[in-house]
Amino acid sequence: MATLEVLAQDRAGLLRDVMQVVAEAGKSALGSETRILGPLARIRLRLTVQDGERESLVQAIKSVKSVQEVRWV
């Protein structure tokens, strides 16, 4: 299990869009936490992923509108 952190400009539908990318990758979140930090949203997702899947998931989430940073923590 690993934790993925997404920082993005807060907007309606952001969490839905990120979770759609996760679902399209064939993954499901084991847990999530979302915090609003001024104009930014921080989303942390706990996922079960293989090492070889991590980079492709990061790149896919980076393509979501308003996402600024994606990293494993």
Q: How far is the CA of 16 from the CAs of 11, 21, 33, 40, 52, in angstroms?
A: 11, 9, 13, 16, 25
Give the pLDDT of residue 42.
Answer: 99
Beta strands in 10-49 (DSSP E): 29-37, 40-47
Predicted structure pTM score:
0.94
Q: Domain residues of the chain, as ranges?
A: 2-72
pLDDT digits (tens, 9 = 90+) for 3-44: 999 999 999 999 999 999 999 999 999 999 999 999 999 999
Q: Comparing C-alpha atoms, which of 20, 17, 71, 66 is closest to residue 39?
A: 66
For the segment(s) 2-72, the CATH number from 3.60.15.10, 3.30.70.260, 2.60.40.10, 3.50.40.10 is 3.30.70.260
